[in-house]
């Protein structure tokens, strides 16, 4: 349903690492780190050694990114300051686990995201999307970013627990928002340790106790009844090769990671999708025409999704320009050659999807919203391997990417069949790059019912 990586032949990096920068414009990190990184790249090139409060090697070339992602688990891992910061709340779930522990968990969780399993969630996605749009009224301005967040959280709840979050949606929203804010903070020594008694840390500690108590109660209730065919049911029944199963703490960690990573990134992708369609009515017209032609007057069906090619291309292009999870980082496990330079063991290597996916050497008119660049027949803009990686790449590519793409297509088709979404004049547009890349002030819109 989506390209895991652009399959064009990879190109080689032929440049040099820039002269090391020391504390260069570091104050910009406190404002918008994506803009800070983009400026570094524009001024100093695609391979930069940066020294500051946090030291890192910044890469922005598909060949370098491809090497790091492909060789993760062999030459690179996630033992970085940033991922260690995440471990304070996510534990050693699939996103942060390493080595054999990661392999075991990936294998146990893979059945949750098989084509058959994912297809079983189609109907609940449609129902949730239709329920959301029924609450909309023409002419009334509202924040569609907030609605997309609630919608994708509702879908996550129904997918994980057959009966949804059972009246706990607002508690879950409070927990996920606080954890997102904590995760987006710089991983400063001592301060980021949850034992440090800052207001943020104290709140997150309380939330983690609440969440684990909430999950343990659900798990114990579930163990007393017949198995259910939802994601929690799969986790509870998952076994490794030796017959071992996940304990309660592991299930809590995996559930928290998937709820936050899944609903937050999908909501952000959809918000930018509505933003771009409003500013490109010719693209919206073509997408709506395709949706009406494919679906007709009947209900949306699962088999329709593969025919929504222009809709898929528009979603891909929105994620190229506005990657929800915009930042990635790895740790060099030993001295390793990268881009013709040997970087020492323990070096943190980082890249920004925001900059990589707008690289002028690999994208024609890179700042322009043009879904046709994802048309397989497009010869003007073939891209290259690892120039577009919204879900990552290599062995640690996002396990839930197909679930996410089905969710995005279902919501896009459901909304566009019934409504035109227009950005309201009062909207204050400003991109914010924290844990995810989202409009700082949400996206204020009105909707118009289609004939």
The fold for domain 21-449 equals Cytochrome p450 (1.10.630)
- Please give the radius of gyration of the chain, using alpha carbons only, rounded to the nearest integer: 22
Q: What pLDDT score was predicted for residue 7?
A: 45
Query: So where are the chain's domains?
Result: 21-449
State how far the alpha carbon of 351 is from the alpha carbons of 39, 299, 329, 428, in Å: 13, 42, 6, 28
Give the pLDDT mean for 239-248. Answer: 84
Q: Which residue has the higher pLDDT, 107 or 28?
A: 107
Q: Which of 118, 66, 23 is nearest to 349 (CA)?
A: 66
Q: Is the pLDDT of residue 26 over 90?
A: no
**Band of residue 4 on the pLDDT scale cut at 50, 70, 90:** very low
pLDDT tens per residue across span 186-236 = 888 788 888 999 998 999 999 999 999 999 998 888 888 877 888 888 889
Q: How far apart are CA 149 and CA 144, in angstroms?
A: 8
**Band of residue 381 on the pLDDT scale cut at 50, 70, 90:** low
Contact call for residues 401 and 409 (beta carbons, < 8 A): no
Give the pLDDT mean for 393-409. Answer: 96
The 3-class SS string of 114-158 reads CHHHHHCCHHHHHHHHHHHHHCCCCCCCEEHHHHHHHHHHHHHHH
In percent, how much of the chain has pLDDT > 70?
95
pTM, full prediction: 0.93
Tokens for 202?
């104290």
Contact call for residues 261 and 400 (beta carbons, < 8 A): yes
Q: Is the pLDDT of residue 2 over 60?
A: no
Q: How far apart are CA 397 and CA 379, in angstroms?
A: 27
Q: Which of 374, 366, 404 is nearest to 313 (CA)?
A: 374
State how far the alpha carbon of 49 is from the alpha carbons of 20, 187, 322, 387, in Å: 5, 19, 25, 21
- Cβ atoms within 10 A of the Cβ of 58, count? 25
Contact call for residues 217 and 224 (beta carbons, < 8 A): no
């Amino acid at each position: 349903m989506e390209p895991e990586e652009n399959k064009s032949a990879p190109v080689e990096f032929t440049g040099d690492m820039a002269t090391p920068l020391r504390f260069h414009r570091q104050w910009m990190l406190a404002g918008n780190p994506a803009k800070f990184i983009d400026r570094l790249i524009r001024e100093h090139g695609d391979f930069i050694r940066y020294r500051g409060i946090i030291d890192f090697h910044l890469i922005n070339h598909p060949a370098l990114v491809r090497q790091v992602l492909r060789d993760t688990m062999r030459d690179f891992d996630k033992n970085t300051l940033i991922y260690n910061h995440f471990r304070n709340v996510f534990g050693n779930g699939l996103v942060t686990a390493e080595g054999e522990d990661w392999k075991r968990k990936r294998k146990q969780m893979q059945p949750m995201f098989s084509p058959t399993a994912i297809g079983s969630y189609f109907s609940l996605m449609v129902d949730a999307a239709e329920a959301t749009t029924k609450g909309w009224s023409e002419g009334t301005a509202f924040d569609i970013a907030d609605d997309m967040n609630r919608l994708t959280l509702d879908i996550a709840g129904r997918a994980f627990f057959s009966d949804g979050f059972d009246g706990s949606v607002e508690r879950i929203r409070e927990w996920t928002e606080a954890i997102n804010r904590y995760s987006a903070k710089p991983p400063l020594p001592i301060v980021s340790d949850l034992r440090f008694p800052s207001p943020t840390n104290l709140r997150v500690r309380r939330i983690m106790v609440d969440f684990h108590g909430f999950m343990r109660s659900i798990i114990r209730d579930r163990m007393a009844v017949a198995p259910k065919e939802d994601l929690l049911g799969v986790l509870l029944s998952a076994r490794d090769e030796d017959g071992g199963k996940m304990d309660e703490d592991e299930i809590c960690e995996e559930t928290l990671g998937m709820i936050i990573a899944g609903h937050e990134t999908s909501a952000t992708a959809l918000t930018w999708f509505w933003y771009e369609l409003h500013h490109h009515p010719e693209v919206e017209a073509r997408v709506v025409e395709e949706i009406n032609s494919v679906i007709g007057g009947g209900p949306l069906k699962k088999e329709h999704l593969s025919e929504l090619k222009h809709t898929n291309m528009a979603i891909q292009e929105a994620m190229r320009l506005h990657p929800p999870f915009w930042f990635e980082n790895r740790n060099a496990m030993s001295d390793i050659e990268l881009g013709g330079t040997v970087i020492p063991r323990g070096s943190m290597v980082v890249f920004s999807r925001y900059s990589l996916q707008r690289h002028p050497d690999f994208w024609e008119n890179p700042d322009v919203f043009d879904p046709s660049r994802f048309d397989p027949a497009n010869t003007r803009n073939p891209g290259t391997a690892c120039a577009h990686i919204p879900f990552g790449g290599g062995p640690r590519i996002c396990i839930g990417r197909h679930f996410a793409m089905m969710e995005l297509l279902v919501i896009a088709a459901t909304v566009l069949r019934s409504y035109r979404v227009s950005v309201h004049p009062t909207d204050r547009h400003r991109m914010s790059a924290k844990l995810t890349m989202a409009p700082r002030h949400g996206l204020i819109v009105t909707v118009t019912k289609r004939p």
